[in-house]
């Protein structure tokens, strides 16, 4: 099992989520990602956890948005 740094995983996840957000017209969600990274600086574990939670919330909102659209 290869253990990746949490920052790398979060970076990959947010990159994909942002990409999908733009593709799926979820522009406000993509903006939220960038705001999260600007507001919560640092490389500490706490800030990574907070970012991850915000990313998950954004993904859930994105999912609800897509369901609502369909």
For the chain, the domain total comes to 1
Predicted TM-score of the model (pTM) = 0.39
List, for residues 25-70, the tens digit of each pLDDT value.
Answer: 555 666 666 666 666 666 666 766 777 777 777 777 777 777 777 6
In a domain, 53, yes or no: yes
* Domain enclosing residue 19, as ranges: 6-69
Q: Express each pLDDT in 1-18 by its tens digit.
A: 566 566 676 777 777 776
52 within domain boundaries = yes
Residues 6+ apart with CB under 8 A from 36: 51, 54, 55, 58
Whether 1 is covered by a domain: the verdict is: no
The answer to the question of residue 34 being in a domain is: yes
pLDDT for the residue numbered 54: 74
23 is a domain residue: yes
């Amino acid at each position: 099992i290869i253990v990746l740094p949490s920052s790398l995983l979060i970076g990959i996840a947010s990159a994909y989520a942002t990409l999908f957000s733009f593709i799926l017209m979820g522009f406000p969600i993509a903006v939220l990602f960038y705001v999260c990274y600007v507001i919560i600086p640092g490389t500490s574990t706490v800030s990574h956890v907070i970012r991850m939670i915000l990313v998950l919330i954004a993904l859930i909102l994105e999912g609800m948005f897509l369901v609502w659209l369909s």
